[in-house]
Amino acid sequence: MPIFAVHYTYSDATVPGRDEIRPVHREYLAGLATEGTLLARGPYPDGSGALLIFDAADADTVGKLLAADPFQAANLVDETRVVEWLPTDGFPSK
């Protein structure tokens, strides 16, 4: 299956909501990781967003998974960018 990089962009205005929803958001992502759908995840150190790496059939599938993310459901992500990614080094190839 293709691998997708998802970039979340946050704003300072969403900090209180993200702080409140973060435990449920992380629980949701942990479930995707356990399934093997989410390969890696983590916030940017400056708080501007996060990177999520998915193994999914297509971008539509990733979009459906993202729509169920509690951060997305609570409108805490200002921008979402989904791109197919072709790792060449340092990442398990498919």
Residue 23: what pLDDT? Answer: 97
Q: Is the pTM of this model over 0.95?
A: no
- For residue 45, being part of any structural domain is answered with yes
Q: Which of 44, 28, 37, 47 is nearest to 4 (CA)?
A: 37
The parent domain of residue 36 ranges over: 3-85
Task: Label residues 42-57 b or e (16+ Cβ within 10 Å = b).
Answer: eeeeeeebbebbbbbe
- For residue 94, being part of any structural domain is answered with no
- For residue 90, being part of any structural domain is answered with no
pLDDT, tens digit, 9 for 90 and up, residues 49-80: 999 999 999 999 999 999 999 999 999 999 99
- For residue 78, the domain's CATH number is 3.30.70.1060
- For residue 91, being part of any structural domain is answered with no
pLDDT, tens digit, 9 for 90 and up, residues 5-64: 999 999 999 999 999 999 999 999 999 999 999 999 999 999 999 999 999 999 999 999
> Which residues lie closer than 8 Å to 38 by C-beta, 6 or more apart?
29, 32, 52, 53, 54, 55
Q: Which of 58, 40, 60 is nearest to 50 (CA)?
A: 40
